[in-house]
Copies of this chain bind each other. A is one copy, B any other.
Amino acid sequence: MTHPYAQDNDLSTATLHGSLSEPALESMNFLNEVASRYPEAISFASGRPFEGFFDTTLIRDYIETFARYLRAEKGCNDTQVNQIIFQYGRTKGIIHELIARQLARDEKMTVDPEAIVVTVGCQEAMFITLRALRRDERDILLAVSPTYIGITGAARLVDMPVWPVRSGPSGIDLDDLATQVHRARAAGLRPRACYVMPDFANPSGASLTVALRQDLLALAASEHVLLLEDNPYGLFHDGPHPPTLKALDTNRQVIYLGSFAKTGFPGARVGYAVADQRVGAGDGSVSLLADELAKIKSMVTVNTSAVGQAVVGGKLLLHDVSMAAANQRETAVYLENLKHLLGGLSQRFPAGGVSWNCPSGGFFVVVTLPFAAGDKLVEHSAREYRVLWTPMSHFYPSAEGLHQVRLACSQLTPEMIEAGLDRFAAFVAGQRHDMAGEGK
């Protein structure tokens, strides 16, 4: 029998959960660690929201606004307001009605507030959803590849394999989705859901057309596979935006994973799941999936911080319960930054050999280089050229995307983007020079 204690240590990773040896859980640490060692490097690696409008004094306004709402709209007295913000609270959250109003305004989605579970960021929404869907070793998750690291890590925590689905030129290859579903079923497995980010995906920047969204919904319905729709960036659009999968969903096929990390702020740690699926129990009773997710949440975090919820609720209330309205300045910054990034790439790489996609919004652009750009080159680029980026290989389960890098521009200014692209172009030229030298 393996003894859990190593000779000189207290514990051994060999007897801790396998997720602790998972690359997905390491890759964010690796990038943060490189960034911390080269603080003077300009970072295209970070997809954090813009910080220029952060202001700690706003928190007071948000909380006071939320307290006024509790008094005026919910009929609470001061004792009840204090109780709601200080005490243990409803497991599914206290801003569910505001979130439903926000989704109606910003996304034209009609959502039953009772189908909403407010979570500790979108990450917890992913985690509790996968925990519910993974019953045993037969259950697998499908995910459009390249895939956000957060879903890969959450799946790993519940020992749920993630099968990649090709993205292809359109953002998701429906033929491959059908193939993977059939392949899984033939192997005696249960493909429970397919994870997809239809708007300005992290890391690809790609968006799905409305027609493709409809085809995806039809395929998911006919194949009895849920869709996990993750939508952190959908509001950072230039003008009207396409409907979400959930807005088009007439069949309760979609679990919508909502984030306020980019539209509220990350430090509040508030997200949510919309889970209106009906769950039948053996005794004939029926519950909402949201209530099942809440049972799991109660054993992970009990409930989401009422202070965090009050802050996000107050921000919503100060902007007509619209995150699109609350983020007009930020959206302008992101679109301006993206324009600079795409324009700057065109200026610096006019000839062939370096290419990139051109998202119309969001935080991310993927650049394809004429050489493999992995973790060793990130370090080299940070040290020698003082510029950071993310190898796309981090977002694939196997050796793919080796020549691709993700550039994020959300946290920068146009001046930093220009300076960063100069450094990035010098890095690329340096690598090409080395390659040419090697080729001699």
Q: Show the binding face of A for B, using Cβ within 8 Å.
A: 1-20, 24-26, 28-29, 48-49, 51, 54-56, 59-60, 63, 67, 79, 81-89, 120-121, 123-124, 127, 131-135, 139, 150, 153-154, 156-158, 185, 188, 190, 192, 224, 252, 261, 265-270, 277-282, 286, 289, 292, 295-296, 298-308, 311
Contact = CB atoms under 8 A, between A and B. Distances in A.
A268 B307 contact: yes
B123 A301 contact: yes
B157 A54 contact: no
Given A59-B63, A59-B85, A123-B300, 6 more contacts: A9-B277, A10-B252, A19-B131, A54-B82, A88-B266, A301-B301
Copies in the complex: 2
Contacts of A5: 224
Contact of A311 (B2, B127, B307): B307
A8 B280 contact: yes
Nearest to A1: B188
A413 B153 CA distance: 47
A294 B282 CA distance: 38
Given A17-B132, A307-B308, A299 B269 contact: no
Given A86-B266, A305-B307, A4 B123 contact: no
Contact of A279 (B10, B51, B133): B10
Nearest to A13: B281
A224 B15 CA distance: 13
A279 B13 CA distance: 6
A222 B255 CA distance: 49
A87 B13 contact: no
A367 to B, nearest CB: 24
Contacts of A3: 224
Residue picked from A13, A15, A265, A305, most chain B C-beta under 10 Å: A305
A306 B127 contact: no
A277 B19 contact: no
A311 to B, nearest CB: 6
A4 B56 contact: no
Given A301-B121, A302-B269, A83 B13 contact: no
Contact of A269 (B63, B156, B289, B301): B301
Contacts of A11: 277-280, 289
A190 B15 contact: yes
